């Protein structure tokens, strides 16, 4: 399907510096937001605790619910409305845990007494603090190693440097393991690993891998920043959404990289910036159609999927928008960092 007429030549590369400024501001805002909130707001999946979803027959006061929860032995808890206002549903979060069977009955009874209306426990989830820490560590590892092995794949496929990519991977895994023996937190270990990875890619001129990884870090960073700005919780479904965003953005980037490599081979005397810009325009129709149809589905999930899946769909929505942008304005222009505008590919 030809959505955009052939021969279109939008000057994406000419506007790359403006795009760099926009991306830098978004990343800076994400960092400031994370510092302001003292890091991501982790859900019980990662810090342990109890989540209770309760439905009342009529509207109740949130302070009354908090008092009832304190009487049930869950200490200070946060309470917020869940779903539509007319649903009279509330989400209760506490950092304390108890026997789930006994807790469900006790909470329902105390809530009914305190609010003078019937209370039905819709959902009760409980995670121990040690399990939460282990899940947090594994989630960060999943994101880091997905980025690392993606970089290996890109280096091998587009630059035919499988051996160097494999050596880099082995060295980074060993370095991260060695630093872990110093009892550094997983977040600092991953940050160090990402910095070393980018430095090696730059030194070894693995330009396709560099472009792909920078774009993926850009997408994940902005998505995390928006969630922090909105004070949304980071749970296991959100980590799944971030990994999905990485895969989606990479797929879009590979399509553009394939066309760039093909055009470099077919037009060896064309300026590199012209080749990159032409390749982006030639894949623009596919990019818009793919992103557009995916966004329709994700938007439907966000609006109609209910409270349980809303944050997951929101993360995908942000990631797809940012990922489409980064494939055009971040990943592809980075290829030009090794060659001037006047140098021929």
- The domains of the chain, with CATH numbers, are 13-43+131-338 (1.20.1640.10), 49-127 (3.30.70.3400)
pLDDT of residue 343: 44
Question: Can you tell me whether residue 258 is helix, strand or coil?
Answer: helix
Where are the strands (E) in 250-336, listed by range? none
DSSP 196: H
At 322 the pLDDT is: 93
The closest alpha carbon to 55, from 85, 83, 77, 88, belongs to: 88
Q: What is the DSSP letter of 329?
A: I
**267: helix, strand or coil:** coil
pLDDT at 22: 92
For the chain, 345 residues long, the average pLDDT of each consecutive 10-residue run is 68 88 92 86 75 80 79 72 76 70 74 79 71 71 77 77 77 71 68 78 83 89 90 84 87 88 86 88 86 89 79 91 91 77 41
336 backbone dihedrals φ, ψ, rounded to 5°: -80, -10
**Per-residue DSSP letter, 344:** B
Rg (CA), the chain: 24
Contact 262, 276 (CB under 8 A): no
Question: How far is Cα 268 from Cα 345, in angstroms, rounded to an integer?
Answer: 6
pLDDT of residue 315: 92
Give 78's strand partners: 93
4-to-7, 9, 273, 324 alpha-carbon distances in Å: 9, 11, 21, 17
Cα→Cα distances 205→144, 145, 164, 211, Å? 21, 21, 11, 11
Handedness of CA 217, 173, 153, 294 (dihedral sign): negative
DSSP string, 92-109: EEES----HHHHHHHHHH
Residue 241 near residue 315, CB atoms below 8 Å: yes
Which 3 state secondary structure label does DSSP give 337? helix
pTM of the model: 0.80
Alpha-carbon dihedral of residues 178, 184, 187, 193, nearest 10 degrees? -30
């Amino acid at each position: 399907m030809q959505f955009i007429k052939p021969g279109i030549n939008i000057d994406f590369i000419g506007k790359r510096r403006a795009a760099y400024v926009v991306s830098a501001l978004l990343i800076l805002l994400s960092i400031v937001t994370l510092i302001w909130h003292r890091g991501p707001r982790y859900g019980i999946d990662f810090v342990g605790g109890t989540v209770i979803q309760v439905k009342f027959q009529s509207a109740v006061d949130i302070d009354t619910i908090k008092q009832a929860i304190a009487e049930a032995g869950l200490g200070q808890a946060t309470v917020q409305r869940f779903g539509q206002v007319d649903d009279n549903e509330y989400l209760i979060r506490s950092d304390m845990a108890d026997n789930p069977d006994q807790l469900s009955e006790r909470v329902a009874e105390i809530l009914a007494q305190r609010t003078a209306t019937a209370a039905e426990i819709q959902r009760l989830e409980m995670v121990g603090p040690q399990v939460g820490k282990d899940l947090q560590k594994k989630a960060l590892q999943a994101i880091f190693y997905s980025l690392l092995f993606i970089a290996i794949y890109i280096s091998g496929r587009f630059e035919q440097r499988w051996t160097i990519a494999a050596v880099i991977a082995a060295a980074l895994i060993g370095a991260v393991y060695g630093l872990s023996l110093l009892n550094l937190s997983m977040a600092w270990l991953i940050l160090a690993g990402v910095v070393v990875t980018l430095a090696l890619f730059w030194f070894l001129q693995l330009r396709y891998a560099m472009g792909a990884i920078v774009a993926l870090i850009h997408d994940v960073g902005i998505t995390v920043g928006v969630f922090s700005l909105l004070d949304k919780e980071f749970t296991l479904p959100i980590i799944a959404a971030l990994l999905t965003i990485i895969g989606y953005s990479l797929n879009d980037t590979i399509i553009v990289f394939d066309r760039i490599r093909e055009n470099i081979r077919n037009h060896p005397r064309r300026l590199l910036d012209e080749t990159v810009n032409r390749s982006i325009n030639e894949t623009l129709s596919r990019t818009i159609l793919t992103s557009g149809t995916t966004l329709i589905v994700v938007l439907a999930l966000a609006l109609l999927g209910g409270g349980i899946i809303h944050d997951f769909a929101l993360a995908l929505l942000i990631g797809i928008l940012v990922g489409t942008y980064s494939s055009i304005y971040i990943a592809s222009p980075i290829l030009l960092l090794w060659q001037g505008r006047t140098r021929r590919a």
